[in-house]
Amino acid sequence: MKASRVEVNVYHCSAAISACEKGGQWQMALHLLSSMPEAKVVPNEFTYSAAISACEKGGQWQMALHLLSLMPEAKVVPNEFTYSAAISACEKGGEWQLALNLLSLMPEARVVPNEITYNAAISACEKVGQWQMALNLLSRMPGASVVPNVITHSAAMSACEKGGQWQLALNLLSRMPEAGVSPNVITYSAAMSACEKGGQWQLALNLLSRMPEASVVPNVITYSAAMSACEKGGQWQLALNLLSLMPDATMVPNEITYNAAITACSKSGQWQLALNLLSMMPECATLNRATAWGSVLLSMALSGNQELHASMMESLRLQWLESASRIGRYPSGENYSFGGFQVLLESDGLFAVFKPAGIRTEELVARLSQALLSEGHPGDITSSSRLDVETSGVLPLVFGPESSAVGRWLTVQFAARQVAKEYICLCSGPILGPKGTQGQIDNPLQVLKTEGVGTSMLKAVWSSSGKAAFTQYEVLKVFQQPLPALVNEDDAIMMLLVRPLTGRTHQIRSHLAGIGRPILGDGNYGGLKAPWCRRVLLHCWRLSLMDLNGRRFQPEAPFPTDLLETLQYLGYDPIAGSCDDARE
pLDDT band of 37, cuts 50, 70, 90: confident
**Model confidence over 407-455: pLDDT tens digits?**
999 999 999 999 999 999 999 999 999 999 999 999 999 887 765 544 4
CB 273 within 8 A of CB 265: yes
Cα–Cα distance measured from residue 149 to residue 127, given in angstroms and rounded to the nearest whole number: 19
Cβ-based neighbours of 70, under 8 Å, separated by 6 or more: none
Cα–Cα distance measured from residue 377 to residue 451, given in angstroms and rounded to the nearest whole number: 41
DSSP symbols for 213-241 = GGT----HHHHHHHHHHHHHTT-HHHHHH
Which among 432, 390, 391 is positioned nearest to 516, based on CA atoms? 432
Rounded mean pLDDT of 266-280?
92
Cβ-based neighbours of 15, under 8 Å, separated by 6 or more: none
Cα–Cα distance measured from residue 581 to residue 584, given in angstroms and rounded to the nearest whole number: 6
Dihedral sign, CA of 141, 147, 148, 151?
negative
- What pLDDT is attached to residue 402? 86
Rounded mean pLDDT of 323-340?
62
Cα–Cα distance measured from residue 461 to residue 340, given in angstroms and rounded to the nearest whole number: 35
Give the Cβ contact number of residue 420 at 10 Å: 13
DSSP H or E run through 205: helix 201-210
pLDDT band of 486, cuts 50, 70, 90: low
Which among 268, 176, 263 is positioned nearest to 224, based on CA atoms? 263
Q: Give phi and psi for 261, each to the nearest 5.
A: -70, -40
In the Cβ-directed half-sphere of 156, how many Cα atoms lie within 13 Å?
Answer: 28
Residue 182 has pLDDT above 60, yes or no: yes
Cβ-based neighbours of 196, under 8 Å, separated by 6 or more: 204, 225, 226, 228, 229, 232
CB 50 within 8 A of CB 14: yes
Amino acid at 127: K
Rounded mean pLDDT of 244-272?
90
> What radius of gyration do the chain's Cα atoms show?
27
**Model confidence over 160-169: pLDDT tens digits?**
988 889 999 9
- What pLDDT is attached to residue 454? 46
Strand, coil or helix: 348: coil
CB 91 within 8 A of CB 123: yes
- What pLDDT is attached to residue 438? 97
Dihedral sign, CA of 422, 426, 428, 431?
positive
Amino acid at 9: N
pTM to 2 decimals? 0.76
Residue count of the chain: 584
Q: Give phi and psi for 522, each to the nearest 5.
A: -90, 75
500, β-bridge pairs: 471
Rounded mean pLDDT of 298-317?
93
Dihedral sign, CA of 357, 362, 366, 369?
positive
Cα–Cα distance measured from residue 201 to residue 465, given in angstroms and rounded to the nearest whole number: 14
Top pLDDT among 314 and 37 is at: 314
**Model confidence over 81-99: pLDDT tens digits?**
899 999 999 988 888 999 9
Amino acid at 126: E
pLDDT band of 403, cuts 50, 70, 90: confident
Delineate the domains of the chain, giving CATH numbers in brackets: 10-301 (1.25.40.10), 420-536 (3.30.2350.10)
Give the Cβ contact number of residue 12 at 10 Å: 15
- What pLDDT is attached to residue 331? 47
Torsion of CA 481, 482, 483, 485, to 10 degrees: 140
Give me the chain's average pLDDT, please. 87
**Model confidence over 188-239: pLDDT tens digits?**
999 999 999 888 999 999 999 999 999 999 999 999 999 999 998 889 999 9
Give the Cβ contact number of residue 276 at 10 Å: 13
Rounded mean pLDDT of 384-393?
93
Give the Cβ contact number of residue 284 at 10 Å: 10
Top pLDDT among 336 and 204 is at: 204
Rounded mean pLDDT of 479-495?
77
DSSP H or E run through 424: strand 420-430
